[in-house]
Structures are given as structure tokens and as C-alpha cells.
Structure 1
Amino acid sequence: MTESKGLTINDVARKCGLSRSTVSRVINNHPYVAKEKKEAVLKAMEELGYKPNSVAQQLRSNKTHAIAVLVPRITNPFYSRLIEKMETEASLLGYQIIICQTRYSKEREVDYLDMLRSRKVDGVILTSIQNDWKDIETYLQYGPIVMCNEFDDQATIPSIRVNQMDGSYLGTKHLIEQGHKKIAYCKGGTKSNIGKKRREGFNKALKEYNLSSVNDVVLTNAFSIEDGKRIFHELPEDITAVFTGGDEVAVGIIFEARENRVKIPEQLAVIGFDNQVISELINPSITTINQPIEEVASKTMEVMIQKLESDKPSNIKEIYEFPVKLIVRQSTVLE
């Protein structure tokens, strides 16, 4: 052990009246230590001001206490909030996170997954998926992988997500109930299972109101504010409402509508997704679908750390699904 302020592990052992091996097990987070002994060791360390050498701990345990979190776009407020909560939860439990931005690239995703193979991280959290599951699955031999937000039905790992289908269904139904019959649908990439579930919810609402045959306007590559501005100009003239799939896209559409003197929601109703802060601040405020981001992030980190600290972490399919809620504001309803 390295010294901290001239202290050693033996000083801690003498202070709490326990053996050197017990102190060592507590420092190295060994699972089989009685609660009262662990508390005694931690109290002695605090009173003495003793801090173990984290590098030495890592070498002995062959663990980094680091978790890679793969996100497609850090600038998206949804992922920023997700990461912030994950980092807070991880820190409380003695772990740190490494943020890895994939930019929706298969190659970058593989590069970051290789951090698991090279033991640079203990586990990986995927908030989006670019590669096929069969290619990702090979990395399970090196450590646990958990899916958060995005999912793959073939995956045999934990998946923490929200009910995307219900979200788009609620949003589309709301637009229809406001009298809209021609509704444009925006989506991001073609591979996303989130996008597929949202399209199912959209179609479900249309079918309930016998509108399936009159809605065939699908706009792709909808991710950002700039995409929303572009999409506004791609809308057919008979469209009266847009399901955007994201608050950033909704902001872009509303901004461009104002620039072109199109009234929201009188001439064009717009609904977002995520309930980001900007959705409430912009004028008109955006009707959106609230996702419980903090709860999803907390559960994801809880599941990941359970896997990391288990003697025999199992790779089995576990699904934790959270509900969504429709938030009605000015972009779809006149107040």
C-alpha cells in the first residue's frame, strides 16, 4: 500500500482494531465483509485522513471502476441530462463514467466497445445502437453491457427504456383530436428500434381514426434544430400538423414557420418529444412527450453496477420500461 500523509494500511487496522486483511477487503470493495466492520474501517480512514492509492487498487483488482457511456450526440439535451444523472449516481458508488460520442457511426461504436476488450473500462452503457447485435454480443466476454434508451429485441442483456410506442400514440391521438387529418411524421435514422416503435404508435392512432390511407408523409434525418428548419420547407401544403419525434426538431420547425409567417398552431400544429427545457421556454411553448430521463438514468446505473459487483454477472434479457406522459402546450392548442 502507498502511504497517505505518512499513513499505511496497518495504521488503519490498528485504529479500528481489525486485521490488515479485513481493511484490505473493505478498501478493495470485497462483497463478503460484515456491515459493522466495513463501517469501522471507513470511520477509521476518515478520522486518520487515509486515502488508498487508486492506481494500486486498480492493479490488484484488475478493475478500472470506469464505465463507458456511448451517446450519439452530446449536444442533444436529452443525452446531456441522461449523462449528468448517470455521473452523479456512479460517483456516489465509487465509479466514474467516460463519455463516448459515436455520432451515429458504426466504426466509432466499435472503437469504444474495444475499450472493454482492452480493459480500459469495466462496463459499457449503450444509449444508441449502430451495429447489429451479433457484432456487439462478442464483447460480452470482456464485461457487462447495458442498453439504455435504445434497445434490440435480440439482445440478451438488460434494457432500460421508456414506452416509445405509447408516446407517439398519445401525441398523434392528441393531434387528431384537435381536428388534424394530414399529419407529417419525422424520424431520425432508419436502423433505430426507437423509431420503429414510435412509427407503430403513430400508425396505431391513425388506424383508430380511419386516417391511415391519407397519411404518407414521412420526413427523415430529423435530429437537430437545423434539421427542423429544413423539414419545414419539405412539408406539403396540405399538411396541418407535424409529429417531430424530438423537441429540437420542433424548435427548428417553429422558428422557420415564424420566419415565413406561418401561424402556430392555427396553420401548423407541432408536437415534440422528450420535454426538454427549451420546449417550455420557446414561444409558442411546445406540446411534447415527457420521458422520465432521471429515473431511466438511475435505473441504468443501478443495473450496471449490480453486474459489475456480482461475482458471476449473468447476461440475461431484462427489460425495465418506464411510462411516458403527454404535456399539452401552445404549439397544438390555442390558449
Structure 2
Amino acid sequence: MATIEDVAKLAGLSRTTVSRVINDQPYVTEEKRQRIVQAMKDLGYVPNSSARRLRSQKTETIAVLLPRVTNPFFGNLIEAMEQKASEWGYQVIVCQTHHSRKKEIDYLQLLKTKQVDGVIMASLVNDWKDVEPYLESGPIVFCNEYMEDASIPMIHMDHKTAAYEAAVHLLEQGCKHIAYASGGPESHLGAMRKQGFLEALEEYGRPFLDELNIDWAIDVSDGQKVFHLIRSDFPYIDGVFTGSDEVAAGLIYEASSSDWKVPEDLAVVGFDNQMVSLLMVPSVTTIQQPVIQMADKTVEVLIQQLLHPGAIAPKRYVYPHQLLLRNSTKRREAAIQ
């Protein structure tokens, strides 16, 4: 069985340096840390986690709060976070809130009761004033979600600009009545998307009527319902901006079994660039988020806060997005000039 001395010898470093890495202590360069991590992997060395936790009073566990893991975006996000956290010797537990204010607060109690060292919030349904007191118990970082008055690090993309660009694209294809199909509680993120969407419509002089606002669509089955609602009650709608590729896929699937053609009769934009967006016929125009980069930065920022309490100033990290143009919105002959 390998020992800490074996790890030090293979890594070419001192036993003290290896111990610092195992115990997540500062003053070790990233290059040395990676050498030690690799040596432990090569030797199959497993530190005595129970003893280490007792000494450090740490759980070496991070809680990630998200609405539902069945959403492919959050599934990919949590997978990337888990991989990054493991490089630092941390575990990740997934806490599904299902957009419940109570569940969100209940999971934050894990921080207060010292069952986790830190919390990553990939969604937010409570007011910031209800979340802020938990900072007294440990660090909290927003990933994907963000809020103007929150005094914590935030890692996200510009959802307002992304939604604006998607709406402009639909308008430039000739769409005159564009529905907004999203769902879940109105978060700051959702508000920013809606604002960007409405700014595009206003810029192009297009009205946004009540029937164009669909606020309950979150998955494939909801997307199917959206299509039937449009066909039966609002057939003049010729474009849809959706909050996820799941909704877009359900909508396109139902259209394919009717006399509606996508994009000739109904252009559709998704969000998140999930695998389903490529598998659909037609393929789905969508917004791509840099999931892995955001996940890696979020874990890094949180762990740095754990290693250097009070030394990391709240900062916003905004990552670029990309509008991927595919067949669900191909250019129309009647495009706006």
C-alpha cells in the first residue's frame, strides 16, 4: 500500500508539500499541486479523509443547487463541476430545488450546519435578502444565475444580449409575431432574457401581445403543448423564442406531424445547444453557453474562497455566448430589409 512518502518521492517533492496539498493548504504552486495529484493517481494513494476532516474541520464537500438534473444543461454543468472539484480533492452533492423557495433555503441550511464547506447556486428563486445571511456560515457563488445586488462572485454569460440576438435573428427572417416560451419562477436571469427579447421587438417596431407570452414551458412535453396552443388559438404566430432546446424540440416534433412546416410556417430558436438540438429535423438554431469554462471557473473561485477566507473580492465573470444558426430558422424570402 502506497504511503505519503511514496507520493513525495514519485512527485520529487517534500513530504510537507504533499501534506499541504492533501489538506488543501495554501502556498503550493498549481504546477506542484498537479504533480502531487498525478503521483497519487499513479500510486493509487488514497488519503485518510476522516482524519483529515477532523484536523481541518472541513467536509471537503460542495453543494450545488439547481432546479432539476434532468435538464441536459444542468446535467452537463454538474458533470464538469464534479470533475473540477475532484482535482482539488472535493466532493459535489447535487441539490434539486425544483424551483421551490423552501427547498432552496433547506439546502442552504447545509452550509449553516457545517455539512458542506461551500455552496454553488446555479439557480435562484428566493430574494437575495433571504440568501445573504448564509454567507456568515461559508462562501456562496452564483453560476449561470446572477443578481445585481448580490455581493458574491458570479459566473455567467450575458443572457440579455443572447436573447436580443436571437430575437433579432427571428425578425430578420421575416417573423412578425414572435412568441416568448419560457418557464419557471421569474428570476433575475429570466428577467434579463425577457428584457433583451423585448428590446429587439421594440427596435424593430413589432408588438408583444399577452398571447405571445408563454411562461410555463420548461421541457419537451411543454413544447408540444406550446405548438398545439399556437395552432388552435394563435395561428398567426410565425416565430418562437424558447428558453431551452427541450421546449424547442417538443414544439418542432409536434409541428412535423401536422401541416405546419419549420421554419417556413414557424421559425424556432432554442437555448443551451443541447444534443437534441442537433438530432432534431430540422436542426435547432440555439444559443451556446460555455458550460465547461463556467463550471471550471465557478469551482476554482469557490475553492479559492475556502483556502483564503475573506481574501477574494466579489467579482463578476461574464463569458461569451454564440448564436448557432441552423435549419429551424433558415433565411426566408420575405426577410425584413
Q: TM-score, normalised by structure 1?
A: 0.88
Q: Please say if 1:238 is aligned against 2:236.
A: yes
Structure 2 distance, partners of 1:285, 1:46, is 41
Structure 2 CA distance for aligned equivalents of residues 81 and 16 of structure 1: 32
Q: Out of 307, 310, 326, which is 1:329 matched to?
A: 326
Task: State whether residues 24 and 88 of structure 2, in contact with CA within 8 Å, keep that contact through their aligned partners in structure 1.
Answer: no
Alignment check: 8 A CA contact 1:68 1:125 kept: yes
Counterparts in 2 of 1:139 and 1:177: CA distance versus 1, 3 Å: same
Q: CA deviation at 1:298?
A: 1.2
Match of 2:304 in 1: 306
Identity %: 49
Alpha-carbon distance in structure 2 between the residues aligned to 1:84 and 1:16:
28
Q: Cα deviations across residues 234-254 of structure 1 (Å, max 9, x unaligned)?
A: 221111111112100001111
Distance 1:197 1:261 in 2: 35
Three-state SS of the structure 2 residue aligned to 1:181 is coil
Deviation at 1:334, TM superposition (A): 6.1
Note closer, same or farther for the CA distance 1:261–1:10 as it changes in structure 2 (3 Å cut).
closer
Pairing partner for 2:200 from 180, 200, 205: 205
- Taking the aligned partners of 1:44 and 1:247, their CA distance within structure 2 comes to 42
Q: Output one character per residue of 1:210-251: Cα deviation in whole Å (capped at 9) or x when no partner.
A: 113668610011110011111112221111111112100001
- Looking at structure 2, the residues matched to 42 and 219 of structure 1 have their Cα atoms a distance apart, in angstroms, of 49
Please state how far the C-alpha of 1:276 moved relative to its aligned partner. 0.8
**Equivalent-residue separation in structure 2 for 1:43 and 1:181 (angstroms):** 57
TM-score (norm 2): 0.87
- Of 162, 167, 172, the match for 2:162: 167
Q: Are 2:317 and 1:320 aligned?
A: yes
Indicate yes or no: 2:103 matched with 1:105: no
The whole-number CA distance in structure 2 between the counterparts of 1:133 and 1:297 is 22
| Stretch deviating more after TM superposition (256-265 or 62-71) | 256-265
Q: Deviation of residue 86 (structure 1)?
A: 0.8
Q: Distance in 1 between matches of 2:169 and 2:318?
A: 23
Q: Does 1:217 align with 2:212?
A: yes
Deviation of 1:43 after TM superposition, in Å, equals 9.5
For the 8 Å contact 1:290–1:327, the answer to whether it is kept is yes
What is the DSSP-based 3-state SS (H/G/I as helix, E as strand, rest coil) of the residue aligned with 1:94?
coil
Number of residues of Structure 1 aligned to a counterpart in Structure 2: 329
Q: Distance in 2 between matches of 1:96 and 1:329?
A: 38
Q: What secondary structure is seen at the aligned counterpart in 2 of 1:263?
A: coil
Please state if 1:157 is matched with 2:157: no
CA RMSD between the two structures: 3.0
1:290-331 per-position Cα deviation (integer Å, ceiling 9, x unaligned): 1111111111111111111114355x5311111211111111
Q: What code does the residue aligned with 1:301 have?
A: V
Structure 1 residues without counterparts, runs of 5 or longer: none
Letter paired with 1:326: L
Change (3 A) 1:86 1:35: closer
Provide closer, same or farther for how the CA distance between residues 286 and 306 of structure 1 changes in structure 2, counting only shifts above 3 A.
Answer: same
- Within the candidate set 184, 189, 197, 1:194 is matched to 189
Cα shift at 1:47: 9.3
Match for residue 87 of structure 2?
92
Residue in 2 aligned with 1:148?
Answer: 143
Structure 2 letter corresponding to 1:146: V
Matched, 1:286 2:281: no
Runs (4+) off by over 6 Å: 9-23, 34-49
Tell me what 2:130 maps to: 135
Deviations, residues 266-299 of structure 1 (Å, cap 9, x unaligned): 1111111111111011111111111111111111
Read off the aligned partner of 1:328 and give its amino acid letter.
Answer: L
Task: Give 2:172's match in structure 1, choosing from 172, 177, 180.
Answer: 177
Instruction: Provide the rounded CA distance (Å) in 1 between the counterparts of 2:293 and 2:136.
Output: 28
Contact between 1:250 and 1:286, CA under 8 Å: does it hold in 2? Answer: yes
- Preserved CA contact (<8 Å) 2:117 2:138: yes
Deviations 1:160-180 (A, max 9, x none): 011101111111111111111
Unaligned ranges ≥5, structure 2: 333-337
- Matching of residues 264-275 of structure 1 within 5 Å: 264-275=262-273
